[in-house]
Amino acid sequence: MSAQLKGKAIIFSAPSGAGKTTIVRHLLGIPDLRLSFSVSATSRSMRENEQDARDYFFLSPDEFRTRVRLGDFLEWEEVYHNQLYGTLRSEIDRIWSEGRNVIFDVDVVGGISLKNHFGTTALSVFVQPPSIEVLEHRLQNRSTESPDKIAMRIAKARHELTFAPRFDMVLINDNLEQALQDAEESVRKFLHT
């Protein structure tokens, strides 16, 4: 890695719809945690209300693969056919150069890869829905994807749930207020050790 370790890393991973983004946004709003969001890169199409360099760095599949070959990614994965996601080294360098801690909102495989890279400098948190049925209901309520896409995400979620034990902490998001409180306490404790 080109930058010296100057901060810590907080990694939130979960099946799609488990609530990790809501938790990460909550933590970003707590000034004394000094967290900055690591914007991931993706080759998927931009959704309505998304903005390049805020939500993701949107790259074409070819651009993404070229940057992989150049070694620009700390980790990356082809989540679905031609839908690649990854963490740019430059994002971590930028955040740590500002004297801040980096927080990630990544898929399960990316979370495991990041934890393996950062080791004890990172806290990895797996956000787990109370059940597959609740997860499916949450995805349907988003109204952002077709029934086929939701079915694909549910099948993937069943597989991802098997990886929960590989994370430092499993946070069950059954009650959002409790999950937010538990996440804040765990992150605060980790950052101050």
What are the tens digits of pLDDT across the range 44-71?
A: 999 999 999 999 999 999 999 999 999 9
Q: State mean pLDDT over 73-97.
A: 92
Cα–Cα dist 24/16, whole Å: 14
Task: Report how far residue 156's alpha carbon sits from residue 161's, in angstroms, rounded to the nearest whole number.
Answer: 9
CATH number of 9-42+91-191: 3.40.50.300
Question: CA end-to-end span of the chain, whole Å?
Answer: 23
Q: With 60 as the cut, is the pLDDT of residue 138 above it?
A: yes
**What tokens were used for 24?**
């990460």
Residue 5 has pLDDT above 80, yes or no: no
User: Phi and psi for 7 in degrees, rounded to 5?
Assistant: -145, -170
The enclosing H or E element of 37 equals strand 35-37
pTM of model > 0.85: yes
Name the residue ranges covered by the structural domains of the chain: 9-42+91-191
Q: Would you state the pLDDT for residue 1?
A: 38
Question: 124, 160 in Cβ contact below 8 A?
Answer: no
